[in-house]
Amino acid sequence: MPLKKFASFLLIIIVLIACFLIPAGAVSIPFSNRELRQQLKSETAVLIDGDTGQVLFEKNMNKKMEPASITKIMTGLLALENAELSDTIIMSHDAVFSIGRDTSHIALDVDEIITLEQALYALAIESGNDAANGIAEHVGSSMENFALLMTERSKEAGALNTSFKNAHGLPEPEHYTTAYDMAVITMAALKTPGFTEIFGAEKYEMPPTNKQREARTFWSHNSIIAGWYKYDGVIAGKTGWTPESQHTLVTAARKNGRTLIAVVMKSAAADDKYTDTAALLDYGFESFSDVSFNADELSKDNYIITSEEGVRAEMNLYAEQPFNCLIPKGSTKNDIEISYRTVSYGDEYQPPQVNAVFTLLQPDSLPDYPEHRKLGELDMLVDIINIEDTLSASADNIQSVQDQSKGGISVVFLWIFGFIGALLVILIILRIRNYIIFKKRRRRRNGKYRKYSFLK
C-alpha cells in the first residue's frame, strides 16, 4: 500500500476511534436552552447559581423523585453542623445490619469504633450505608430521629418538597426529594466548613480500628470527580443509584469566581448522568454574564403599602448590599426590570418587609430563553416616613358625615317649617292688607253714590 494511502487510512481510523472514545463531556455542547433541553436524557434536572440560588436551567425540577445516595449530602451537612470530626462513633447492631449486605458499605462491624471524620469520608466516597447509619445514631440519637432532623433542615434550606426517612437513601415510603430541592440543600452544604474537602475527595485512607487490623482505602467512583468524565473545576459531588431511582448525580463546580450546582435525576444509563451534568455546567459557565446592581440603584423613595387592616405606611427603601445575578449573553442590564413586593406588613414590633424583585425581560435576541425569567429577590431596609390607620380614619369620617347628616336633617326641617311659616304670615298680612284696602274703597264708592243721589 502506498505511503500516502496508508497515512489517509490511518487518519480515518484515528478519527473513528476518537469519536467513540472521547468522553461526552469533552464534546462541543450547544448553548441554546432549547437544544440543551432536547439533549438531556435525565428525567429531571436543574442548574443553579451556587451563590445566589438563581435558577439558570430546569427540566421538571419540582417533580418528586427517589434520590438514592445523593440523600447523603444532607446526612453530611447535618453531621458537620452538629458534631465534631473528632467525635467517636460506636457502631450498633441496627446501624450495621439494618441495611442489606448487597448494598454499598465499608464492612463496619458491631461495636466497631470510628471517628466522625472517617464515617464522613466513607459516606462521601464509598457511599457507605453502614457509615450513614452510624452518623445518624451519633448525631440524632436514633436513625428515626435523625431522619426527622434531615427533613426539618431541608425546609430551612428552602427544600419544601422533600421528605427523608433515612440517612442513606435506600428506597422507603415517603422518602423523596426534587432536583431543585437537592440543589438548594447542596448550596447550604457548600457553606459548611469541611464539606467540599470531604465530598470532593478522590481518595481517603481509613486507619485500622478495634475491629479491623488493616487500613481501608477509599477511591472515588464518581467519574466527574476522578474518572473518564472528570470535569475541570468540580469541588464536590455525590452519585446515587437504586433500581427504583436509577442514576442520580449532584455536582458543584467553580470557575472564574462563579459557583454552579447541577442536579440530574433518573438517568437510565450510568454515562447519561455525567454527560447531562457536563452539558449543564458548560451551559452555565459559557452562556451567562455577570450583572450587579449597587445600593444606590436599588433605593426607592415614597413607597406606599396598605394592609388589609387598613394600615397605610409610606416609607423609603434602601438596599443593604448589592444584587448580583447572571443573565444570558445577548442580554444587557437594561433588560432587567426591578419591581417591589410586600412580603409582610409588619406590626407594632416588626417593620414591614419589602423585597426588590428582578425579572429579565424577554429580549428579541433570545427567543428560547427559559420561561423562568425571575432572577431573584433582595430584602430591602425600610425607613418609615408616615403611618396611619386608614380604616379607622374612614370610619370616623363616615360617623362624622352621618352626624352631620343627622344634624342637617333637623336644620332642613326647621328651614322648611320656617319658610312655610313665613309664607303663611306674609299671606295673612297680604290678606289683611287687601281686606282693609277693599273696605276703604267700598266706603268711598258708597259715599259717592250718596252724594250723587243727594244732588239729584
Return the number of other C-beta atoms located less than 10 Å from residue 208's C-beta. Answer: 10
Return the number of other C-beta atoms located less than 10 Å from residue 453's C-beta. Answer: 8
- The C-alpha atoms of residue 240 and residue 129 are separated, in whole angstroms, by 12
Q: Is 28 a catalytic residue?
A: no
- The C-alpha atoms of residue 257 and residue 274 are separated, in whole angstroms, by 23
Is residue 231 within 8 Å of 216, Cβ to Cβ? no
Q: Is 32 a catalytic residue?
A: no
- The C-alpha atoms of residue 151 and residue 439 are separated, in whole angstroms, by 112
Q: 114: which 3 cell numbers?
A: 470510628
Is residue 186 within 8 Å of 250, Cβ to Cβ? yes
Return the number of other C-beta atoms located less than 10 Å from residue 304's C-beta. Answer: 10
Which helix (H) or strand (E) segment is 16 a member of?
helix 3-21
Q: Which of 127, 220, 223, 267 is catalytic?
A: 127
Q: Is 72 a catalytic residue?
A: yes
Is residue 47 within 8 Å of 31, Cβ to Cβ? no
- The C-alpha atoms of residue 25 and residue 229 are separated, in whole angstroms, by 6
Phi, psi of 435 (to 5 degrees): -65, -45
Phi, psi of 99 (to 5 degrees): -110, 150
Helix and strand numbers (H, E) in the chain are: 12, 16
Among candidates 353, 296, 343, 342, which has minimal Cα distance to 321?
296
Burial label for 69, CB within 10 Å (0-12, 13-18, 19+), is: buried
- The C-alpha atoms of residue 220 and residue 208 are separated, in whole angstroms, by 20
List residues bridging with 336 in a β-sheet.
Answer: 360
Per DSSP, 207 falls in state: P
- The C-alpha atoms of residue 59 and residue 162 are separated, in whole angstroms, by 17
What is the CA 69 to chain-centroid distance, rounded?
24
Q: Which of 59, 72, 165, 238 is catalytic?
A: 72
Residues annotated catalytic, as ranges: 69, 72, 127
